[in-house]
Amino acid sequence: MSSALSIPLFGGRFANRAVPVLALGLLLLVVAPFMSWCYDPDVLGDLTLWFNPAPSQWAVLSLGLGGLALLSLSVVPPLRRFEPYATEGKALRALGIGTAIFMAGVLIIITVQAGGLVNAEPGAWVALAGALIVTLGSSIRESYADKELIHVRLPSWMEVLILVVFVGGFMLLAAYALGITDAARFVMLVIHVGVVMGVLAGAGLFTWLGILATKHSRVLMLAAFAAAFAFPLTQDGSDANMSIATNVLIFAATAVGLNIVVGLAGLLDLGYIAFLGAGAYVGAILSGSAFATIDWEPPFIVTALIGAIFSSILGLIIGSPTLRVSGDYLAIVTLAFGEIFRLTMFNLDGNNGPNLTRGSNGIPDIPELHLLGFDFGESHHFFGIEITRFANYYFLLLILMAFIILVFMRMNASRIGRGWIAIREDEKAAEAMGVNVFGLKLLAFAGGAFLAGLAGTVKAHHDVAVTPDSYQFLESAFLLAAVVLGGMGTVGGVIVGAVILKLLPEKLRFFSEYRLLLFGLLLVLMMRFRPEGLIASQRRKLEFHEEDDALAEKVQEVHIEEVK
């Protein structure tokens, strides 16, 4: 068994006093939500009431109760048998620091919205003090863990149930987040979720869930898609929320295609948005729009295949001469390709070239999709629940996402996928072992472009118009960031990264001038503290932490568990 030691910040001298300090801080976090936090009732859902917590106060209460539950594993005698599995030292430290950040955010919002920090009442200061005391207590505590959650054995049905509950909880959280209209409350929800994730990561839950997901991958996939299909039923016919959801799916589907190029083959592509744009323009030109420049309207399935094949041909054209370079040079060439595509769409206006795209005017008035007699532009009712236009496209995009994920996973598990990974790890060594490096690189470019083209044809009908300005370099940067942020080479990680990078800007429009600043700060923090991404395999994680011997031993244990 592995042995994990959490070294206290202030040494073992005060370690025996850590439990009372932690208990005091956590009790303050439990008591503070029942106190008044602010004089102004318009701040964060009315923080003025005593014994009637608002959502932000419930968030702190949940953190306090969760911390007490962790602490009880080493204090309450009947629960001590679970202590070897609990890395509560790291978890409580994450809880203390995260809650302090949460309360700092509350005080900033009170200062801005209520007209000064003087409007903060004692409850807010008690909660902040509790968070700081928990941080102090976790820093002076020695925590040993002879075992970790990866060693826990449960019946298969219970493991499946845990995965289903986890997926369902994630979808309910997404539905709740979309329903929040107050920007300040949304920000506090994001911080609270981040704190909870930090605590769970410190307790080793995500590593354990990764093992369960590997053992029950099919069940997890079915549960995820079942929850995703049920998502529109929770939105009460809201066009605004479903519009955001469909845009997230388009972005995620494109990011999974890019993950083939970047995550598997290790090729830095900064112009990938051009392939999405190529598919969208094909979809628009062949849509039967009054502004379309080609008088041919084939069935949508044919249009989707033409758009995907056209995008893959562009991938072959750009890949053939440029894949002989690598690293920074490849990034510069692909960036140039993305700009060339955008400028070409401007110039195909009938003046500077043939009239195919109508230049800067684009192709508007794209008709709604009609597939197998189903009109995607009309609202429908399902058991009395209204399914709006955007919900129709949402379901279609879910089916497309399922196809893209299937292609990605099958290719990843094949000899081709292993060849891509070999190229990513060491191109020279792969070539020496007989891997067709250039051919596999070209296939990665063409395959990723094909999937992006498919998504683009649906996007054209969803957006009702296509213009060159929709496919700028910044969009490619966000796609690449979604892959890096979520975890290169994984499906779940990229989807989570896409949801974060697409959902947050939509809900933080009040912060529009500083959204890129927050985006850059997020990436800097990720590169510093979790360069492998939010959801990454243990082996991928080890690549970024080669000096961590304990992690190497854990990776070996995880691999043994996965084999079992």
In a domain, 235, yes or no: no
Radius of gyration of the chain (CA): 26
pLDDT tens, position by position, 156-175: 888 888 888 888 888 888 88
In a domain, 334, yes or no: yes
Q: Kindly state whether residues 215 and 257 are assigned to the same domain.
A: no
Q: Kindly state whether residues 120 and 70 are assigned to the same domain.
A: yes
- Strands 380-382 and 374-375, how do they pair? unpaired
101 vs 564, residue with greater confidence: 101
**Contact call for residues 99 and 107 (beta carbons, < 8 A):** no
In a domain, 554, yes or no: no
Of the ranges 385-389, 466-470, 490-494, 525-529, the best mean pLDDT one: 466-470
Q: Kindly state whether residues 203 and 257 are assigned to the same domain.
A: no
Of the ranges 124-128, 161-165, 335-339, 351-355, the best mean pLDDT one: 124-128
Quick one: average pLDDT of 109-120? 90
Query: Can you give the pLDDT at residue 230?
Result: 85
Query: Can you give the pLDDT at residue 484?
Result: 86
- CA 445 – CA 169 distance, rounded (Å): 36
Q: Kindly state whether residues 477 and 356 are assigned to the same domain.
A: yes
Res 535 pLDDT > 50: yes
User: What is the average pLDDT score of the chain?
Assistant: 83
Query: Can you give the pLDDT at residue 9?
Result: 45
pLDDT tens, position by position, 283-313: 999 998 888 888 888 999 999 999 999 999 9
In a domain, 542, yes or no: no
In one letter, which amino acid is 23?
Answer: A
Of the ranges 262-266, 353-357, 408-412, 451-455, the best mean pLDDT one: 451-455
What DSSP string describes 408-431?
HHHHHTSHHHHHHHHHHH-HHHHH
User: Residue 413 is part of which domain span?
Assistant: 246-515
Query: Does the pTM exceed 0.85?
Result: no
Q: Which two tokens stand for residue 432?
A: 């020496």
**Contact call for residues 91 and 8 (beta carbons, < 8 A):** no
Per the structure, the count of domains in the chain is 2
**Contact call for residues 280 and 351 (beta carbons, < 8 A):** no
In a domain, 550, yes or no: no
- CA 368 – CA 498 distance, rounded (Å): 26
Res 36 pLDDT > 90: yes
Query: Can you give the pLDDT at residue 6?
Result: 44
Query: Can you give the pLDDT at residue 110?
Result: 93
Least confident piece of the model among 157-171, 314-328, 436-450: 314-328
Q: Kindly state whether residues 371 and 428 are assigned to the same domain.
A: yes
Q: Kindly state whether residues 22 and 104 are assigned to the same domain.
A: yes
Q: Kindly state whether residues 214 and 251 are assigned to the same domain.
A: no
**323, 324, 325, 330 alpha-carbon torsion, rounded to 10°:** -10
List all residues 6 or more positions away from 521 whose beta carbon is below 8 Å from its beta carbon.
none
Query: Can you give the pLDDT at residue 1?
Result: 36
Q: Kindly state whether residues 156 and 271 are assigned to the same domain.
A: no
List all residues 6 or more positions away from 505 whose beta carbon is below 8 Å from its beta carbon.
515
Res 390 pLDDT > 70: yes
In a domain, 163, yes or no: yes
Query: Can you give the pLDDT at residue 304?
Result: 94
pLDDT tens, position by position, 49-72: 899 999 999 999 999 999 898 888
Query: Can you give the pLDDT at residue 327?
Result: 75
Which candidate, 191, 198, 189, places its Cα nearest to that of 94? 198
In a domain, 112, yes or no: yes
Q: Judging by beta carbons within 10 Å of its beta carbon (0-12, 13-18, 19+), is residue 521 exposed, middle or buried?
A: exposed
What SS3 string covers 334-382?
Answer: HHHHHHHHHHHHHHCCCCCCCCCCCHHHCECCCCCCEECCEECCCCEEE
Q: Say what percent of the chain tops pLDDT 70.
A: 86
pLDDT tens, position by position, 186-235: 889 989 998 998 888 877 777 777 777 777 878 888 888 888 888 888 77
Q: Kindly state whether residues 343 and 464 are assigned to the same domain.
A: yes
Q: Kindly state whether residues 318 and 434 are assigned to the same domain.
A: yes
Res 543 pLDDT > 50: yes
Res 138 pLDDT > 60: yes
Q: Kindly state whether residues 274 and 383 are assigned to the same domain.
A: yes
Query: Can you give the pLDDT at residue 78?
Result: 61
Report residue 80's pLDDT band, with 50, 70 and 90 as the boundaries: low
In one letter, which amino acid is 116?
Answer: G
**Contact call for residues 345 and 357 (beta carbons, < 8 A):** yes
- CA 361 – CA 466 distance, rounded (Å): 9
List all residues 6 or more positions away from 535 whose beta carbon is below 8 Å from its beta carbon.
206, 210, 486, 487, 490, 492, 493, 496
Given 220, 235, 260, the domain boundary residue is 220
Q: Kindly state whether residues 331 and 455 are assigned to the same domain.
A: yes
**Contact call for residues 427 and 324 (beta carbons, < 8 A):** no
Return the number of other C-beta atoms located less than 10 Å from residue 258's C-beta.
27
In a domain, 241, yes or no: no
- CA 128 – CA 416 distance, rounded (Å): 53
Which candidate, 49, 31, 24, places its Cα nearest to that of 121? 49
Report the DSSP beta bridge partners of residue 385.
382
Q: What is the CATH number of the domain that holds 440?
A: 1.10.3470
Report residue 466's pLDDT band, with 50, 70 and 90 as the boundaries: very high
Query: Can you give the pLDDT at residue 87?
Result: 53
